[in-house]
Chains A and B, each alone.
Chain A
Amino acid sequence: MSDLSAPAACVDLGQLPVGSTVALFGGIYNNHLALHATVADARRRGAAAVFFLGDTGGFGPHPDRSVEGLRSLPVHSIAGNYDHSIGSDAADCACGYTDPRDNHFAQISYDYTLANTAAEHKGWLAALPHSARFELGGQRVLLCHGSPRKQNEFLWHSTTPAAYIDVLCREQQADLVCCTHTGMHWERRLADGRGVVNVGAIGRPANDGRTCVWYALLHSTPAGLRAELVPLSYDHEGLAREMRDEGLPAEFVETIETGWWTTCLEILPPRERMAGRY
């Protein structure tokens, strides 16, 4: 039941000993300042490998800076729906909003990203694999953007029950499925230790009234893989300045400066929505 027809990229991490750590992040949304801060923070914390789960563009300023960052840093990348759309010069981000206001703001960031991404970078985005796998401490990890079965499917904490996680892990022959796409980080484990980790997004805050962004570390331990969801402070004031200079909507800048989402809220399930300001 998967539309991710291309085979997963298998990343051989070699023999990483128990005690090793890898880092996972998603949703750059053009936040090149957070991209560099995340990779630096992950290395400081001892990550032996760093993975990006997709969605390079959208929302923030200067799209090429993020693609150039990804291409120069030691990061394994897979594609998100935004990368797929930008990489194929599609007309919109295919998020499928029904509210005209949401569509209006989504189109502004999409048109801006499309117009400011170099053709060569579009080709690089288009060539990214749609999923990846690795083994760590004997545990099989599957990386995808939205869900293993669809690149633009949202896995939220409040709407991803154990029964569904069991199906995803079984079908993917994975112990841990890691995803992003929602922009909100969470983890849910089954009694036997299998589970889903949504690594969140580094491109904008998690609608929690804080300006930090989130990524994930996976620690291999004798008891299996332990996920650590990491809040990261970065130069969000610098980003807000760049966004203003680029003429991006004040609503987007407000999110960076306050930590509250202001647009495209209709995708949120009730619990996640009610926790936010708007």
Chain B
Amino acid sequence: MTASSDPTLPFLHLDTLWLQVTGTVCNIACRHCFISCGPKVRIHDLMTVDQCRAAIDAAAAHGCRAYAFTGGEPFLHPDILALVDLALARGPLDILSNGMLIDEPLAQALARRFREAPHGFDVRISLDGLSAEENDPVRGRGVFDATVQGIRNLVAAGMEPVVAVTTVHADHESAQGRQAFYELLRGLGVAHPRVKLIPPFRIGREARRSGGYGPLERLTAAMIDDDSPWVLQCGTSRMVTNRGAWPCPILVNDDGARMGDRLDDALRPCTLGSPACHTCHVEGFSCRT
């Protein structure tokens, strides 16, 4: 959904390549998921190892600095460790996960790569509350306990995840809210607690939950300046899925935002035509850790 008045954003350099390795397939179906993922959702399907290799090689040829895996839930991918190795050979890697599938053997395999890879490796785990009572109404019954177990497994193996909190509970945005998450993590054995706060994007399933965007919540050319491509992540990153290339991980279900079949088609300015762009602008938000 783009209009001719929508501003375009210059593309500076490919700092981050996002790969939606498991498409929109997730083991759970959170009520605030802005890409509406779930166990049977195949808007985007799993990427093959060859597709991932091609994208990572193309990105490296353009001097890419960092890689990030998302989904859906990346650890549903049957070849996830092979994909991790492909990325870590080229640069640092972040995996965005709900943590539920990280059992002891997987945690060991990830921690070994964290210690031995030539580049940095991070796992970012979503948690939207400090307790099952707070988290599970949004993310699903039993999710809190399974996520916490995943964190414990990682910590026991020697790898400390970042926790990503979508601020659906307003009090989590405050300094005390952040502190409470640090304490929760310390209690799980995390010696260097890290928390990333993420504003809710009112698209996908979250639009139904929170009411979506109003007509005035659009970006205009006047809101874009020289610094914008440094601040908005679509100035320095691109997303690939099994169906092609997109400006960012947020807009993969917006067919109007699709930039081409391959990464190389997408290394050009993009149009800021989604109301979600308004959230990026207002919050100064980036998916980077």
A residues within 8 Å of B by Cβ?
Answer: 1, 3, 98-101, 149-150, 156, 158-161, 163-164, 166-168, 265-266, 269-274, 276, 278
Contacts and interface: CB of A to CB of B under 8 A. Distances in A.
B120 A163 contact: no
B92 A159 contact: yes
Contact of A163 (B91, B162, B197, B230): B91
Contacts of A168: 63
B170 interface: no
B192 A161 contact: no
Contacts of A271: 114, 120-121
Contact of A270 (B13, B59, B65, B120): B120
A273 B192 contact: yes
Interface in B188-245: 192, 194, 197, 226, 230
A98 B197 contact: yes
A274 B90 contact: no
Nearest to A163: B60
A100 B173 CA distance: 11
A161 B118 CA distance: 9
A276 B192 contact: yes
B289 to A, nearest CB: 8
B96 interface: no
A155 B59 CA distance: 19
B61 interface: yes
Contacts of A156: 120
A156 B12 CA distance: 20
B64 interface: yes
B178 interface: yes
B194 A164 contact: no
Contact of B90 (A98, A101, A163, A167): A163
B268 to A, nearest CB: 14
A161 B92 CA distance: 7
Contacts of B64: 161, 163-164
Contacts of B65: 159-161, 163-164
A155 B226 CA distance: 22
Contacts of A274: 160, 192
Contacts of B119: 158-159, 161
A270 B114 contact: yes
Nearest to B174: A100
A161 B66 CA distance: 8
Contacts of B197: 98
Interface in B110-165: 114, 118-122, 160, 162
A158 B63 contact: no
B3 interface: no
A150 B194 CA distance: 25
A1 B13 CA distance: 8
Contacts of A278: 192
B192 A269 contact: no
Given A99-B178, A270-B122, A273-B192, A163 B13 contact: no
Contact of B160 (A99, A150, A265, A270): A270
Nearest to B120: A158
Nearest to B118: A161
B282 interface: no
A241 to B, nearest CB: 30
B1 interface: no
A164 B122 contact: no
B194 to A, nearest CB: 7
